[in-house]
Structures are given as C-alpha cells and as structure tokens.
Amino acid sequence: MDSLQNHLHRLQERLKGSSESYRLDAQVLLSHVLQKPRAWLLAHPEAHLTPDQRQELEQAVQRLERGEPLPYVLGHWEFYGLDFLVSPAVLIPRPETELLVEYALRWLQEHPGRRSAADIGTGSGCIAVSLAVNVPDLQVIAGDISPAALQVARSNAARHDVTDRVHCIQTDLLSGVEERFDLICANLPYIPTEILQNLDVARAEPWLALDGGPDGLSSVRRLLQDLPARRAPGGRALLEIEASQGAAARQAAGRFFKADQVSVLPDLAGRDRLLIISNQ
C-alpha cells in the first residue's frame, strides 16, 4: 500500500503542468482528503490512505486536471483569516481585496458612530462577513444580482454566525435600495471584455462577476451614479479597481464628486487598487 509520501510525489507530478504552485496545491489537496493539517501530512509521510480516500483524491485530481480551480475543488478558501465556502457561482476571494477590508475596518474603528454598511456585488460575502466578524455592532446589506451567489453568501454568514447582521438581498447594484449607508464597499467586475475573453479565469469563474464592459468600468460608473443618494453625509465609499484603472476611475468619479473627495490607494506592490470617495 502506497504511503502518503508516494501519493504526494505522484500528485505533484500530475499537477506540475497545470499550476505554478503545484507542490503546495498537492499538499493542500491531500490534507483536504485526509482532513488533517498540512503540518500533520508532512510529519507522517509513512501514513496511508483508505480506499475511500484514494477514490476521493483521484476524483479531485481529475477536476484539477480539467482546469477547475483548487478552491472550487476544495469547496472553501481563506480570506482575511477566515474560511469561506466557495462554488463556481462566485469569484474566488483574492488577497488584493483584503486591502479594501483593512481600510474599511480602520475607518470604522476611527468612526464608532458609523455602523451601517453595504457590500455591493457581494459574491461569496467575504467582504461583508469579514467586516461583520471584526466589528460586532456593524449592520451590513450584502447585495448581488445572482441568486446562486447570494445562497453562498448566506451560507458564509451562517458559517461565521453573523446572519443577524449581514442581510443578503438580490439587487442590481443599488437598484431598489432606499437606505443611506455610512460605508459602501464594492468589488465589481472590472476586467475589460476583450481582455477577459483571453484569460483562463473566464473559463472557470463566473463571467458575470468578471466582465467590466469595454474599458472595465461599466459597473463602476453605474454605481458611482447612485452613490451620492445612497451614501450618508460624512460617509465613505470604497471600490476595488484594476491596477491600470486609477486615472480613469478618478475621472469617472469626478462627474459626481469634487476632486478633493476622490483618491486612489495603491496596494502593497504600488499598483492602483482602491478608489476612495470621502467627504473632505
């Protein structure tokens, strides 16, 4: 009977052509099947898989070899130190979006009287839930146009015990929403259609959550148009953008806000990442 060490070696060989992180992916997948931490896996190379585990592993590897992303195969993924359920109905949470959460949490901590928020295009709910978990008195509307995405978001709110404060609603951006919010967050589709057609991500993750129109800012412009009426006086809006869109996003926001109310925050790599609209 093969040891874990042999299984791991074969896994890495099979995944080598499909992922730059194939070594780590193999460890994560094998740990998932074993329901053990990666540290346990590496500390017990002599252990063995049961027949059921071998079958589960083979099915999972075949999904990866067909191009399915690892988070969808696992059914969950980490974001901002929390574990989120994911499915092909939602985007896979990405580290760059943590900048939005970090900024939002800092602002909320500095403004203890501001406790109403909206997460527009919530997807898996990773932004809304992360905010609610870290700010115990925050109320969040989590909106999405996709019923399937909202089902995942509701499951994640329940998973992290914040269903009483994260309220999932089906809506096209802020259409039909009457409230005003202290904080409005959004990670909307921002990849230009023509570019998206040639990206691997478009074959695995939901097109609706990726396609930003001709220049990538179609959804952003629509949201900007509604922001003045939906943002509470003194509130703040945070929109994630693609690294090349800083100047264009500023210009789009300038149609509805004064120049000194609009700024762009770079990520750790120095690339434009977060459009910030404030009341300065």
pLDDT digits (tens, 9 = 90+) for 215-229: 999 999 999 999 999
Percent of the chain beyond pLDDT 70? 99
pLDDT tens profile 174-206: 999 999 999 999 999 999 999 999 998 998 999
What is this structure's pTM? 0.94
pLDDT band at 18 (very low <50, low <70, confident <90, very high): confident
pLDDT for 21 equals 85
**Backbone φ, ψ for residue 144 (5° rounding):** -155, 150
Is the pLDDT at 280 greater than 80? The verdict is no
Residue 195 vs residues 90, 210, 214: alpha-carbon distances, Å = 20, 11, 9
Could you give the angle at the alpha carbon of 147 between the alpha carbons of 143 and 151, nearest 5°? Answer: 85
Question: How confident is the model over 139-161, as a mean pLDDT?
Answer: 98
Query: Which CATH number is 4-67's, of 3.30.1340.30, 1.10.8.10, 1.10.3720.10, 3.40.50.1980?
Result: 1.10.8.10
* Domain coordinates in residue numbering, the chain: 4-67, 88-277
For residue 45, pLDDT over 90 is answered with: no
| CATH code of the domain occupying 88-277 | 3.40.50.150
Q: What is the pLDDT of residue 258?
A: 92
pLDDT of residue 1: 60
**Mean pLDDT in residue range 5-32:** 87
| C-alpha closest to that of 217 among 185, 240, 184, 238 | 240
Share of the chain above pLDDT 90, in %: 81
| Lowest-pLDDT range of 57-66, 142-151, 228-237 | 57-66
pLDDT of residue 20: 79
Find, among 88, 59, 60, 91, the residue nearest to 72 by Cα: 88
pLDDT for res 115: 97
* Residue 65 Rama label (left phi>0; alpha psi -120 to 50; beta): alpha
What is the predicted pLDDT for the residue at 29? 92
pLDDT at 131: 98
For residues 132-140, average pLDDT: 98
pLDDT in tens, 51-94: 999 999 999 999 998 889 999 999 999 999 999 999 999 999 99
The span from the CA of 128 to the CA of 152, in Å, is 12
pLDDT for 17 equals 75
